[in-house]
Amino acid sequence: MQTVNIHEAKTNLSRLIEAVAEGQEVVIAKAGKPMVRMVPFATPQTPRRLGGLKGKMRIADDFDAPLPDDLLAAFEGR
C-alpha cells in the first residue's frame, strides 16, 4: 500500500490511477493523517436469477431415500 499526500496525489494522479488499476492500494493523506483509500473498481455482480436451470435438471424420485446399510457403513467408516 502506497501513501501519498494530497499535493503529490494531485501532481501524479494519472500515475496513481494506473497503480490502482494494476491492483495496488493508494492512501491519500492530509497532514500525515489518512483521508482516502483508492482501490480498484469492482464491477458489481448481477444477482442470480432463481429458476435458471428449470427443466434442465432431473432429481430421482428416491433422492432422499435412506442409504443401503453397506453404503452407509462405508460412509461412516465401519
Q: Provide the CATH number for the domain around residue 22.
A: 3.40.1620
| 62 belongs to a structural domain | no
At position 32, the amino acid (one-letter code) is G
Provide the whole-model pTM: 0.54
Burial class (CB in 10 A: 0-12, 13-18, 19+), 9: buried
Residue bearing the bigger pLDDT, 29 or 44? 29
Residues β-bridged to residue 37: 27
CA distance 49 to 34: 40
Name the residue range of residue 7's domain: 2-38
6 secondary structure, DSSP code: H
Give the count of beta carbons closer than 10 Å to the beta carbon of residue 20: 17
Check whether 70 has a pLDDT greater than 90: yes
What is the total count of domains within the chain?
A: 1
CB-CB contact of 28 with 17 (8 Å): no
| 16 belongs to a structural domain | yes
Check whether 78 has a pLDDT greater than 90: no
